[in-house]
Structure 1
Amino acid sequence: MSEHNGRGSIQGERTWHADWALLPDGPARDVLFDVDGGRFVAITPGVPAAQAAADGAERLPGVVLPGLANCHSHAFHRALRGRTHHGGGTFWTWREGMYAVANRLDPDSYLQLARATYAEMALAGVTAVGEFHYLHHGQDGTPYDDPNAMGLALVEAAREAGVRLTLLDTCYLAGGLTADGHSELAGPQVRFGDGDVDGWARRVELLTDHTAGGPAHLCVGAAIHSVRGVPRQALARVAEFTRSRPGGPAPLHAHVSEQPAENEAALAAHGLTPTGLLAAEGVLGPQFSAVHATHLTEQDISLLADTHSTACFCPTTERDLADGIGPARALLDAGARLSLGSDQHAVIDLLEEARALEMHERLDTLQRGRFTAEQLLAAATAHDTIGWPDAGRLEVGLRADLVAVLLDTPRTAGSDPAQVLLAATAADVDTVVVDGEVIVREGRHRLEDQRRLGAQLAAAVEPLWRD
């Protein structure tokens, strides 16, 4: 039996056997995965490896995890890695370097950079990425002939890299916020804006996703850049737009309280924290993710939890930019959900992001065991927060996403499979399957080996830094 797998090809029956797998009810040995049409049709523990091999099952080494979800990405920030540390600086000086890179990209060069960046994610076990996309127009703010040319470059990049993409098309209307109100977009920022919220919505409506007959690997969501970048009167309209999408409510994300200066500006202008302002305008809810959520008050935590919102932490970015350590444990205890992202890609390693969630809490509280291994895995596989509710668990009926992590490398040898997230890195990922299709095998992407991928990344990044 075969059926269409939703990715533009016919995917028949396939079977994999794993020595270990992290199933929803815990670690299991000798697990047989039967896949048809890109979905799990049977998952059977306790099948001897010799029997599985005799029946034609492909072997998955080490321990198998569900596909990892990178819930917050700015693909073009990958060009900043190893380029922003001279002289120290601050988040705000880092941002100037980011603007300089943004101003040099066009659809062709963005496709080249994003394709290699998404392939790097696939090598790290990422099967779906939430792309917080605001690099919309030409350098002077003039739309391309296709006003979604930059977004469509990302769609094509994800297709070629073999990962699912949630394009969180970002409303970005203002250049900053002070007690006197919002400033206009200026300099490189003019590329980000659509004039007003109606212009943004009209452009987004030109995109289609798998719920509306478009590319099956694409989910179209939305984002509010921040309360600095979107005036108060537009916040509710963006939220309403996402709730009225043809395929049902779409994911809605926003940068929230990444910097103390953002809180100070919101309080000065509105008498509310960023979270309080978003709550007052009806933005929070089950489809909403507060990205970073670093500098929250107790009331902010309650607002996010009471509305069943998600907090998306990006620990390797938050430490790279000296942003601080957010209240992850307090959010989870209050009832909010957690997800993870690699944001500016100082590191692309969702295993490290999950481990850092625990390790940052240890540094902040002087206590160990702040999260269970199961809680860390849930944060690293939160596909539903980026519009893929049928992924993120090794469960019959769900999308057949598999990540095999080796247990015999210098980093993982001797590790308890149940604790692999506390030991492994992206370098230990051996095999990645997305919707039943092998994207990475023996640590090599289907498009190119790792050495070639490095050359591709260098070719995409270096021209962006030439004088």
Structure 2
Amino acid sequence: MTVWCERLVLDGVVHDRVRLTADATGATSGFITDASPAPGDLVLGTAVPGAANAHSHAFHRALRGRTHGDGGDFWTWRELMYRTASRLTPARYRSLAAAVFAEMLTAGYTAVGEFHYVHHQPGGTPYPHEMELAVAAAAADVGIRLTLLDTAYLAGGVGERLSAEQARFGDGSAEAYLRRWQELSTLIPGLGAAIHSVRAVSSTDIRTIVEGLPDDVPVHIHLSEQPKENEASLAAYGVTPTGLLAREGVLSTRVSVVHATHLTEDDVRELGGAGVSVVMCPTTEGDLGDGIGPARELLDAGATIAVGSDQNAVVDPLLEIRGLEIQDRLRSLRRGRFSMPELGTAMSAGGYRSLARRAPLSIGGLLDLVEIDTRSVRTIGAEPDQLLLCATAADVRRVVVGGRVAASAGRLADGRQPADMLAEALEEVAA
């Protein structure tokens, strides 16, 4: 498999006339510049590396455009989310997840980390693995790279039992979660793990889970998304959520913290010093009124920045990247908070790292690309290395996964239209 690009923007550098080859697994095996296309090459115009969606809750897509009327905050939104979760079955979830993954792929996301916690039947009776297998089957059907982040969710709050709405999320204990995870790892290759939050898993259970997982498994956790989470952690443990993770010895380069919105200076130093990945979700954090996290300071401290669509109110990697820059401008009152190479890394290589995957287009990394229309009303006249700040998903022409076209002109390679898939799936799920 060989791909030729008239222009490739990689790590902020514009390369002309690039010829890329992939081996049988879809990994990049050759990278030549100033080359001519050969017969049989897939010929692209201007391309960027495939985008990674490092944090998604696919079923939240059912809430898009349905939660604004009554205002409120994160906690009132959460009640509507629980109502939607109660309607999920394995069959419904497979249909909905496939539709959402199709929307992601056509928007330019070539890999996704699905932060999955709807494990069991309503009331908590185990399936035991049907929900997880449904998500995996949905990703395979669409052709997006999936890292299923199977999530531990054991408490309704610090020191609180799961509510009736949360019962299907829980496994009862850290040990039971690990047993289910080990069984699932034999069924789903590349299985990842997650801890919902310090609200939903106690300090001792966090340590038990992280120590019980293989060392090469990525571990994600929601962190300091809301001030209430910080207040609960300080009241129960005497430290912030970040301080708790540091005290339990679980911060490392395999850990990704999601949101990291309400941090102290000490938190920033702890996270950066441990070399964690920080997954910012600008469109969701704005939609829910969560706040703006210290992304620039985290990057300077040593963390890797990635982005995610979270609740999927917006599915557009280019808008997430623009949001990362714009929100930090609003917070700091300065422009150019991130260089173009830093933004490109956050959209692609940073997210792939968070999902324990090698950076696209590096030798041995995956040959995942997104072709951008440079002559639309949004992009015409832009410098090639600044396309990330003016293009949107509407400018995505073709999406290449492993050297092959997976989506083109807003449709999957087999011709399916995400809007049609969503219409059918939402009829079954939307409450």
Q: TM > 0.5 between the two?
A: yes
The secondary structure found in structure 2 opposite 1:375 is helix
Output the CA distance in 2 between the equivalents of 1:39 and 1:31: 16
Output the CA distance in 2 between the equivalents of 1:396 and 1:233: 41
Deviation at 1:449, TM superposition (A): 4.1
> 2:285 matched to which residue of 1?
318
1:385 aligns with 2:354: yes
Deviation at 1:58, TM superposition (A): 2.2
> 1:162 matched to which residue of 2?
143
> 2:49 matched to which residue of 1?
66
Letter in 2 for 1:152: L
The structure 2 residue matched to 1:200, chosen from 177, 181, 186, is 177
Alignment of 1:143-154 (within 5 A): 143-144=126-127, 147-154=128-135
> 1:220 matched to which residue of 2?
191
Deviation at 1:249, TM superposition (A): 1.8
Output the CA distance in 2 between the equivalents of 1:348 and 1:442: 16
Deviation at 1:207, TM superposition (A): 1.7
Deviation at 1:416, TM superposition (A): 1.0
Aligned-residue identity in percent: 49
Aligned residues: 428
The structure 2 residue matched to 1:27, chosen from 6, 14, 25, is 14
> 2:2 matched to which residue of 1?
15
1:374 aligns with 2:355: no
The structure 2 residue matched to 1:87, chosen from 70, 90, 106, is 70
The secondary structure found in structure 2 opposite 1:219 is coil
The structure 2 residue matched to 1:365, chosen from 311, 326, 332, is 332
Deviation at 1:231, TM superposition (A): 1.2
The structure 2 residue matched to 1:229, chosen from 200, 209, 223, is 200
1:402 aligns with 2:369: yes
C-alpha distance after superposition, 1:65-111 (max 9, x if no partner): 11111000011111111111011111000000000000010000000
Output the CA distance in 1 between the equivalents of 2:29 and 2:295: 35
Q: Is the 8 A contact 2:12 2:344 kept in 1?
A: no
1:108 aligns with 2:91: yes
Which structure has more relative contact order (CA 8 Å, sep 6+)? It is 2
Output the CA distance in 2 between the equivalents of 1:138 and 1:45: 53
The structure 2 residue matched to 1:52, chosen from 5, 13, 37, is 37
1:253 aligns with 2:213: no
Alignment of 1:132-147 (within 5 A): 132-144=115-127, 147=128
Deviation at 1:133, TM superposition (A): 0.7
Q: Aligned pair in 2 of structure 1 residues 46, 26: CA closer, same or farther (>3 Å)?
A: same
Output the CA distance in 2 between the equivalents of 1:86 and 1:403: 36
When normalised by structure 2's length, the TM-score is 0.96
> 1:455 matched to which residue of 2?
420
1:444 aligns with 2:411: yes
Output the CA distance in 2 between the equivalents of 1:324 and 1:71: 19
Q: Is the 8 A contact 1:66 1:393 kept in 2?
A: yes
C-alpha distance after superposition, 1:234-283 (max 9, x if no partner): 010111122xx2xx421011000000111011111111101101111112
Deviation at 1:447, TM superposition (A): 3.6
Deviation at 1:285, TM superposition (A): 0.6
Q: Is the 8 A contact 2:22 2:402 kept in 1?
A: no
Q: Is the 8 A contact 1:65 1:394 kept in 2?
A: no
Aligned CA RMSD, in angstroms, stands at 1.4
Q: Is the 8 A contact 1:69 1:380 kept in 2?
A: yes
> 1:4 matched to which residue of 2?
none
Letter in 1 for 2:17: D
Unaligned stretches of 5+ residues in structure 2: none
Letter in 2 for 1:233: T
Q: Is the 8 A contact 1:239 1:282 kept in 2?
A: no
